[in-house]
Amino acid sequence: MGLEIETTRFSAADFRDFHRRLTVETELLAQWLEAGRCSDDARVGGFELEAWLVDRDFNPAPCNSRFLAALGSEQVVPELAKYNVEFNITPRPLHGNALAMFHADLGGLWQRACRLADSLGYHLLMTGILPTVTQAQLNLQNMSDQNRYRALNEQVFAQRRGRPLHLDIPGRQPLHLAHPDVMLEAAATSFQIHLQVPAGQFVRYFNSALLLSGPMVAVSANSPYLFSHDLWEETRIPLFEQAVQVGGFADAAQGPIRRVTFGADYLQHNVLECFRENLLHYPALLPIVYEQTPAALAHLRLHNGTIWRWNRPLLGFDAPDRPHLRLEHRVMAGGPTVVDEIANAAFFFGVAHALANEPQTAQRWPAFSTCRDNFYQGARNGLQAQFTWLGETRVKARTLLAEHLLPLARQGLHALDITAADSELYLDIIARRLASGQTGAAWQRAFVARHGPDMAALTAAYYTAQQSGRPVHEWPV
């Protein structure tokens, strides 16, 4: 989805040609996996951070083309809305001082971008949902000037036969509305972790990421408000799921398969299960036909980019003839600060590595339906959630995170040969966040409880705290 396209209109022949090429490439991937062609290199990490441009009154500022032209960095690119941008940090092997280097890379780029935004009369802000954004601002006039976004909107509504999207989110102040385009998606911004792993171990890492989704969304929750409604701890989850609500073909066991989804099951054998599901169950949204050899897997990769699993398998190339597999963990919100994001990444890398390398863990994993329920419990209730964990035992989120997963994170980072100083620095931030109970979502709700439901005042205070650089557990209310 990051590649630009030349047209926004497609014929029936385009869809047939695309499906034919997608079929060929899916079977080619099957052959590669059978032959052991995919990379077994050491673990490599990376991430993307989506952020907001806001004006001096902390309302969305639709100016990303001007901002990006002035910044001139290939690492910062447009997102769906003109008031969103995406930061892409160079991947690194996960050993030694990789965490500190990630911190330096993101921190340096973020500060440079913040200074530029200020000089242009704007602010740059990272958060899951901007508290001041209104439904009226989520319109096609504020869509970024890329054909791929126009085409996405046209194809979503073609498959919906022009019917508006409906948002229905329960919460303390339930929200129900209809919307005429895909711009609701632009209200949800995230921190997406990438983890490249040896192909032979991909199933274990991918399933570990699924299992971790509930705890990770709970410990990083940062989106309690949408259009001044108090909803979930991580309202991004139901918002995004309903903002691109185009079902795939009906499945007898699962019902309609959604484009934004937690998935249908754990992986059993290899990553091909996801790509065959893509082929069989998801109609093409963007049937762009590339004049490239099937070995580029261009159609397979584009199609996969229009299916937004919360844990998404990705296929890339280290060299033209050397494919690799990585997973994209998409459950976390943007913010509250750079150091909080690096701490979240450190925690995920450590626990995922430890779980994937525990020989007996899978035998005690909950059923997939329970794993999925944990995810939505974590999104809705944050650190107050109750999870069903290994051995089908019930446990409080904070207890699970502090007493079981935090030690696993230390164990995993040690096994990756991450420096002890970095491991202690970033995992201590998670420990202190758990001890205080103050996630970004908890801080926002505490601020509103004390100062009232003024979303502009909330956003201004959030921005000031973010600019301090202090992790969220230290933010005063």
Interval 204-249: pLDDT, tens = 999 999 999 999 999 999 999 999 999 999 999 999 999 988 855 4
pLDDT at 360: 63
Compute the distance between CA of residue 265 and CA of residue 277 in angstroms, rounded to an integer. 11
The model's pTM: 0.95
Res. 295 pLDDT band, cuts 50 70 90: very high
Whether the pLDDT of residue 4 is over 80: the answer is no
Dihedral (C-alpha) 51, 195, 331, 244: value to the nearest 10 degrees?
80
Mean pLDDT of 315-342: 94
Strand pairing category for 260-261 and 308-309: parallel
Q: How far is CA 136 from CA 141, 312, 320, in A?
A: 11, 31, 45
Compute the distance between CA of residue 434 and CA of residue 214 in angstroms, rounded to an integer. 15
**Would you list the domain boundaries of the chain?**
12-474
Whether the pLDDT of residue 291 is over 90: the answer is no
Q: Which of 144-158, 274-288, 423-437, 452-466 has the lowest mean pLDDT?
A: 144-158
pLDDT at 252: 40
Whether the pLDDT of residue 164 is over 90: the answer is yes
Fold of the 12-474 domain: Creatine Kinase; Chain A, domain 2 (3.30.590)
pLDDT at 166: 94
Q: Which of 66-75, 85-94, 355-364 has the lowest mean pLDDT?
A: 355-364
Mean pLDDT of 5-33: 90
Among 269, 332, 274, smallest CA distance to 307 is for 274
Helices within 165-227 (DSSP H only)? 202-219
Amino acid at 172: R
pLDDT at 9: 76
Q: Which of 160-164, 196-200, 270-274, 461-465 has the lowest mean pLDDT?
A: 160-164
Mean pLDDT of 373-380: 98
Interval 254-285: pLDDT, tens = 445 689 999 999 999 999 999 999 999 999 99
Helices within 291-419 (DSSP H only)? 298-304, 338-356, 368-381, 397-399, 406-415
